[in-house]
Amino acid sequence: MRAFVEVNLKAIANNISLVKSKTSAQILAVVKADAYGHGLIPVAKCAIDAGATWLGVALLEEAITLREAGVKAPIISWLTPPSSDFKKAIELDIDIAIPSLKHLELVLAAGKAIGKKPRVHIEVDTGMTRGGLLGEWPEFLIAIKGADLEVIGFWSHFARADEPNEIANQNQVTDFESKLAELQDIGITPKYVHLANSAAALTNTGAHKHIIRLGIAMYGLSPDVKTLGTSLELELEPAMTLKAEIHLVKRVPAGSPVGYGGTQITTCDTKLAIITMGYSDGIPRNTSSAAGVFVAGRKAAIIGRVSMDQFVVDLGADSNAVTGDIAEVFGALGYSIDDWARASGTINYEIVTRIAARVPRIYA
């Protein structure tokens, strides 16, 4: 097999159990973006079996896919532009986030058209300055009073939860609770209140409320290695391992330019291996030699630029690696997902979510 992802579902279950043991809140497993690249349906079913009560997705299409796969757990979809099929969402008992007056109007109209009450979660902007009600909040309170819908939840999102000592976090909690009180003052009490993401779940018990939205930590990765520590320090187990076949091993002399532009030149006689993955598979083009693969018992760093379908690593002159060997691109043996993130100038979230669909997922 040219390249493949191994997904350890037991690791995902263990990560959920770890967080679940530290809170009285329910767990919402965030499975958006194809479960952070791990596979939407297998991960969703694993999460429910492991004790998650809810599922969360960004896109309505993801929620519909889960329902069509027979998933019956509560699902919330929180990124539904006005063109979304709200009727379908209501028919399938998919909870819809309401971030604006326009969304409220559209969801109410869809519910009226099919004769069924929509299930909604009111989203308020408390400092992220992204999704959620902000300037429209006073008008919204007037519009929603007496509306024919079921207010399941009330929620917001932290901007800096991965910085536990940042005062902005408490400011967001205060604003969140103030807006909740205003909603309750007009006679609307949501069944579930939720604010905490993975970072807040791990560091801020005061933000746990009724539901924790568990995203990156569920996949065994730290929300921020610098401020919160590594996966190991957080007792999380990364669930994804990426492997690829060696297309070719070849001896090259010192002074050989490698890859497009000849951006790196071998400094001594060595062996190079061509790995059968590239930026079309999700390998960042700008990855430096701080990342590479693990093969034949040791690390081999990238040399030269990553190409569309392949990249090159320097094995060293005495390597035992041969054409056809399977190399671990990232995993427990050599380079970690966080190593790849640092070598590419990005974050672990991007490394796992960008692995292309053409790379098969294998589950264990």
DSSP calls for 263-300: -EE-SSSEEEEEES--TTTT--TT--TT-EEEETTEEE
Do 99 and 123 form a contact (C-beta atoms < 8 A)?
yes
Torsions phi, psi for 46 (to 5 deg): -60, -45
Distance CA 211, CA 145 (A): 24
Distance CA 163, CA 185 (A): 33
Residue type, 153: G
CA 280, 283, 288: angle at the middle one, nearest 5?
135
> If residue 140 lies in a helix (H) or strand (E), which one and from where to where?
helix 137-144
Per-residue pLDDT tens digits for 12-53: 999 999 999 999 999 999 999 999 999 999 999 999 999 999
State the pLDDT at residue 330: 98
Residue 262 lies in a domain: yes
Does residue 292 sit in the same domain as residue 215?
no
Residues 6+ away with beta carbon under 8 Å from 97: 76, 77, 78, 79, 80, 103, 120, 121, 122, 123, 131, 155
b/e map 197-211, b = 16+ CB within 10 Å:
bbbbbbbbeebbbbb
Mean pLDDT of 104-117: 98
Question: 311-314 and 270-275 as β-strands: parallel, antiparallel, unpaired?
Answer: antiparallel
Mean pLDDT of the chain: 98
Which region, left, alpha or beta, applies to residue 331 given φ > 0 means left and ψ of -120 to 50 means alpha?
left
- Residue 100, number of CB atoms within 10 A of its CB: 17
* Burial status of residue 223 (CB atoms within 10 A of its CB: 0-12, 13-18, 19 or more): buried
State the pLDDT at residue 104: 98
Residue 216 lies in a domain: yes
Residue type, 170: Q
Does residue 222 sit in the same domain as residue 246?
no
Q: Which of 151, 154, 161 is nearest to 206 (CA)?
A: 161
Does residue 245 sit in the same domain as residue 190?
no
Per-residue pLDDT tens digits for 277-305: 999 999 999 999 999 999 999 999 999 99
CATH of the domain at 301: 2.40.37.10
Residues of the chain above pLDDT 70, percent:
100
State the pLDDT at residue 221: 98
What amino acid positions are annotated as catalytic residues? 32, 260
Mean pLDDT of 314-327: 98
Residue 3 lies in a domain: no
State the pLDDT at residue 48: 98
Per-residue pLDDT tens digits for 159-211: 999 999 999 999 999 999 999 999 999 999 999 999 999 999 999 999 999 99
Mean pLDDT of 113-139: 98
Residue 41 lies in a domain: yes
Which structural domain range is residue 330 located in? 240-363
CA 327, 329, 332: angle at the middle one, nearest 5?
95
What is the tally of structural domains in the chain? 2
Does residue 283 sit in the same domain as residue 162?
no
Concatenated DSSP letters for 228-270? H--TTTTT----EEEEEEEEEEEEE-TT-EESGGG-EE-SSSE
Residue 235 lies in a domain: no
Does residue 217 sit in the same domain as residue 248?
no
